[in-house]
Copies of this chain bind each other. A is one copy, B any other.
Amino acid sequence: MLRALFPALFCGTAVDAYELREFQGLATPVQFSAGKTIFSEGEQANIVFGLSQGFVRLYKLLIDGRRQVVAFKLPGDFLAMPRAELHKFSADAIGEVTLSQFSRNDLIELIESSPNLMRLLIDFVSRELDLAQDQLLLLGHGSAEEKVAMFLVGWRNRLARLSMFSEIVPLPMRRRDIADFLGLKLETVSRTFARLERNHAIRVVSKGVALTGLDQSLLVKERICEPHV
């Protein structure tokens, strides 16, 4: 069911079965291989992508090469706002990726044909905004350790909602991606992983971690900015 495919948009609300079928009819599947750029900031956004399988990083670049990763996207997420004319950030595939591709015009037409879908879109964007503002809190304050710990817990929780881990939390993205997400350098991320492991808060494995003692120790005393998409 499409509701399962795009929970980010059709989140917790009754959606008309007919509308769902319409929606599904507009999608064409498309693949990107590891590291490929799906779209770049500033480009015309004639196509809107929904993520079916795999992981995507969204980011903005400064001309001097510095990069801010704005979000990591999971299966079920949309990669951009349907109504935006231009892409406000770039998107890369992390590993092999399967997307559902929509014509922007068709999608807008469908959405605007239904007050129900428009409401859903408003709520969707509002959730994204709230997420971004929580990330502001994370970026603005906190030590490297707090940032990394908070990132790991948030990531674990998002994956949990998709039942995508078992003891070992997969980390498909590179250290550099995590660093650019948290406003740190990749060496700092690496060192922080090592320190957390020494303190038995996590166990680092190839392309993943086990969170052994994070939730109790550091994070309960903090506001947990847990993504709720």
A88 and B118 contact, Cβ closer than 8 Å, known pairs A62-B222, A180-B140, A183-B139: no
Cross-chain contact B223 with A140 (CB below 8 angstroms): no
Whether A121 sits at the interface, judged by CB under 8 Å, is yes
Cross-chain contact B63 with A221 (CB below 8 angstroms): yes
15 additional contacts (CB under 8 A) given A115-B115, A140-B182: A60-B133, A60-B134, A60-B137, A66-B142, A68-B140, A68-B141, A70-B133, A81-B126, A83-B119, A83-B122, A83-B123, A118-B119, A125-B129, A129-B129, A136-B139
Cross-chain contact A66 with B112 (CB below 8 angstroms): no
Q: How far is the CA of A34 from the CA of B118 in the complex (A)?
A: 38
How many whole Å from A2's CB to the nearest CB in chain B? Answer: 21
A136 and B141 contact, Cβ closer than 8 Å, known pairs A83-B123, A84-B126, A118-B115: no
Partner of A136, one of B62, B63, B68, B112: B68
The 13 listed contacts between A and B (C-beta, < 8 Å) are A60-B136, A60-B223, A70-B133, A81-B126, A83-B119, A83-B123, A88-B133, A112-B115, A115-B115, A118-B119, A125-B125, A125-B126, A125-B129
Partner of A135, one of B88, B136, B182: B136
> Please, which residue of chain B has its CB at the minimum distance from the CB of A141?
B66
- Name which of A112, A122, A135 has the most chain B CB atoms within 10 A of its CB: A122
Q: Which residues of B contact A123 (CB under 8 A)?
A: 83
Cross-chain contact B129 with A122 (CB below 8 angstroms): no
Q: How far is the CA of A64 from the CA of B219 in the complex (A)?
A: 12
Partner of A183, one of B88, B128, B140: B140
- Number of A residues near B (Cβ < 8 Å) is 41
Q: Which residues of B contact A130 (CB under 8 A)?
A: 88
Interface residues of A in 46-70 (CB under 8 A from B): 60-64, 66, 68, 70
Whether A89 sits at the interface, judged by CB under 8 Å, is yes
Whether A132 sits at the interface, judged by CB under 8 Å, is yes
Mark each residue of chain A from 73 to 100: 1 if its CB lies under 8 Å from any CB of chain B, else 0: 0000000010110001100000000000
